[in-house]
Amino acid sequence: MKEQTLVWFKADLRLRDHEPLFRAVEKGLVLPVFILDERLLRNHPLGFRRAGTFRMAFMLAAIHDLRSRMRKAGSNLVFRMGLPEVILPALSKQYHCTQLFTAHEVADEEIRIQEKVKEGLTALGIGFSAFENSSLFKEKDLPWPADQVPDVFTTFRKGVEQNWNIRPAFLSPEKVQTWFDGDWGEFPTLTALGYDEIQYDHRSAFPFSGGETEAWKRVTEYFWDKDLLRNYKETRNGLIGIDYSSKLSAALSHGCLSARLIYEEVQRYEHERIKNQSTYWFVFELLWRDYFRAVARKYGAKMFMANGIQQEPKHWKQDRESFEQWRLGKTGHDFIDAHMRELLRTGFMSNRGRQNVASYLTKDLGIDWRWGAAWFESQLVDYDVHSNWLNWAYVAGVGNDPREDRYFHTESQARKYDPEGVYQKLWLNESGGIR
């Protein structure tokens, strides 16, 4: 008799390089499931939703695409909304699952939810297995135990470069067989979830939609059709347009692509086109992502505390008025306001912008960095718990930055990266944009 495995999809909304799905298909019949966690729809104490409009829209598009691809493979995708720790044990019991496969988590809240799911399944005699499904490197392939990961990125990078071991990506299953004969579930619309419909802003540097299909279209466009990877290092600090960077961060954070798949595509590009500093730098950025996952695993809940992983006393202001001015792009500092308005209207901001607005909030205004991280969590279409919170801690001076008191001088940054003020004029002009 074939085993009946429930595969719980989370931030891994793809078929290719999906180890839980691959292993489940190997074993027999598969029940693919996605749970929209109701906690994402709740409000943060500061008054905005944990998952804002742009992030939610991208996620909904990604699960639509996942269902479509599942159907082409002969299956479907069960959709439910609520608490995973309640729904998954009940669903597993009702449909006689022998085990549940899912992605391994390393951040505090996600671990706690995963453990509750596991406890519920164990009580029913149902197996549970979690696979490392999001990083370049497996934890056991790193040159240090989890609790000894270096606190400085350069040390981490040099260590993994000397012990390079990235395993090959898993293929998409040609066929996914299921036994499920129940209600697959209808996907909600944004408005049904209480969000406003998105009005597209033609100034946006991120006009992309969610899903594995769209992610591969962007890879093809950026790498091959436009041949933009060869100049990535020179253009990555850009501010305007879709092509100054790959714009694959949202696909990565929602798991429409895996880091390993992108790495393999870079390798192919190096073989067929060119290997240079830009291709190295692209992988370098993927290493940062792995590094933050490793740090999250090492420090757990400390990464969300006011004093960060360093646990050195800091005195943060709780100034709601100043925070709201920052959040809405009304500080009076053009370079900051332009970036914050771009984020508000599109759900995206350049890496250069993120560093500057975070520095301004924490260093110039002295406001609690966790407020800024929470706003980014809500607003960013490419929100990733590890990268977001640890980057904020880094800039705030309570994270992994080896340089004390790093500070981004707003005016000098504007002169360097927007010398003609083109970007600032673009986003401070409120006469147009929405179409």
- Count of Cβ atoms closer than 10 Å to residue 163 Cβ: 12
For 61-71, the pLDDT digits (tens) are 999 999 999 99
Which residues lie across from 28 on neighbouring strands? 3
Give a yes or no: residue 25 inside a domain: yes
Q: What are the structure tokens assigned to 35, written together?
A: 């749970």
> Are residues 414 and 266 located together in one domain of the fold?
no
Please give the pLDDT value at position 312.
76
CATH number at residue 406: 1.10.579.10
Please give the pLDDT value at position 55.
98
pTM for the predicted model, two decimal places: 0.96
CATH number at residue 229: 1.25.40.80
For 100-127, the pLDDT digits (tens) are 999 999 999 999 999 999 999 999 999 9
3-state secondary structure 123-178: HCCCEEEEECCCCCCCHHHCCCCHHHCCCCHHHHHHHHHHCCCCCCCCCCCCCCCC
> Are residues 221 and 272 located together in one domain of the fold?
yes
> Are residues 129 and 139 located together in one domain of the fold?
no
The DSSP bridge pattern shows strands 78-82 and 99-103 to be unpaired
- Show the domain range for 348: 305-428
CATH number at residue 73: 3.40.50.620
- Distance of alpha carbon 7 from alpha carbon 337, whole angstroms: 43
Please give the pLDDT value at position 404.
65
Please give the pLDDT value at position 131.
98
> Does residue 402 carry a pLDDT above 70?
no
Please give the pLDDT value at position 181.
93
- Distance of alpha carbon 209 from alpha carbon 412, whole angstroms: 34
Give a yes or no: residue 247 inside a domain: yes
Q: What percent of the chain has pLDDT over 70?
A: 97
For 239-287, the pLDDT digits (tens) are 999 999 999 999 999 999 999 999 999 999 999 999 999 999 999 999 9
Give a yes or no: residue 141 inside a domain: yes
Tell me the mean pLDDT in the region 220-236.
98
> Are residues 139 and 268 located together in one domain of the fold?
yes
Specify the range with the lowest mean pLDDT, choosing from 128-132, 202-206, 295-299, 309-313: 309-313
Number of domains the chain is built from: 3
> Are residues 282 and 334 located together in one domain of the fold?
no
> Are residues 140 and 129 located together in one domain of the fold?
no
> Are residues 45 and 90 located together in one domain of the fold?
yes
- With the CA atoms of 263, 264, 269 and 274 taken in that order, what torsion angle do they form, in degrees rounded to the nearest 10? 60
> Are residues 258 and 313 located together in one domain of the fold?
no
Give a yes or no: residue 7 inside a domain: yes
The model's confidence at residue 390, banded by pLDDT at 50, 70 and 90, is very high
Tell me the mean pLDDT in the region 378-403.
92
Domain termination residue (choose one: 244, 278, 299)? 299
Please give the pLDDT value at position 403.
67
Q: What is the mean pLDDT of the chain?
A: 95
For 325-344, the pLDDT digits (tens) are 999 999 999 999 999 999 99
> Are residues 226 and 314 located together in one domain of the fold?
no
> Are residues 273 and 351 located together in one domain of the fold?
no
For 314-324, the pLDDT digits (tens) are 899 999 999 99
> Are residues 378 and 248 located together in one domain of the fold?
no
Q: How far is the first Cα of the chain from the last one, in angstroms, to the nearest whole number?
A: 56
Report whether 29 contacts 178 (CB < 8 A): yes
> Are residues 217 and 101 located together in one domain of the fold?
no
> Does residue 435 carry a pLDDT above 60?
no
Please give the pLDDT value at position 433.
46
Q: What percent of the chain has pLDDT over 90?
A: 93
For 199-227, the pLDDT digits (tens) are 999 999 999 999 999 999 999 999 999 99
Q: Is 18 exposed, middle or buried (0-12, 13-18, 19+ CB in 10 A)?
A: buried
